[in-house]
Amino acid sequence: MLSKIPFSLENLAEEDLNKQILRIALIAELDAINLYEQLASLTDDETIRAVLLDIARKEKTHVGEFLTLLLSKDEEQAEELEEGKEEVEELLEEEE
């Protein structure tokens, strides 16, 4: 269910370590969002559902924090993210 780090951090070049730490943190937050939202969809208790969805929203904020840090540390990632955004926006414009 939860992600496992697919590589050894000891084998990374020092200049890549922080970027990989941030990517691992992103994976963990996305896993948490999926878990809480899935659990919320399973419960029939409205209070439990509300708390799980509230926590999932907070995890989404954490994704934004880690992604912002990653983009500040990895220029190529920032450029490719922008490229991907532009490609999707073009597709969405075509649909309209």
- Tell me the pLDDT tens digit for each residue of 5-26: 666 777 778 888 999 999 999 9
What are the residue boundaries of the structural domains of the chain, listed by start? 17-95
Q: What is the C-alpha to C-alpha distance for residues 67 and 70, in angstroms, rounded to an integer?
A: 5
CA distance 10 to 1: 25
The CA distance from 11 to 38, in Å, is 35
3-state secondary structure of 96: coil
Task: Identify the pLDDT of residue 42.
Answer: 98
The answer, yes or no, to whether residue 30 has pLDDT greater than 80, is yes
pLDDT higher than threshold 90 for residue 46: yes
Average pLDDT for 48-61: 98
- pLDDT digits over 72-89, tens only? 999 999 999 999 999 999
Instruction: Say what the pLDDT of residue 2 is.
Output: 58
Instruction: State residue 3's pLDDT score.
Output: 64
Distance, CA of 3 to CA of 5 (rounded, Å): 7
Q: Whole-number mean pLDDT of the chain?
A: 92
d(CA 32, CA 84): 24
Residues 52 and 39: beta-carbon distance below 8 Å: yes
Which residues have C-beta within 8 Å of that of residue 66, sequence separation ≥ 6?
22, 25, 26, 29
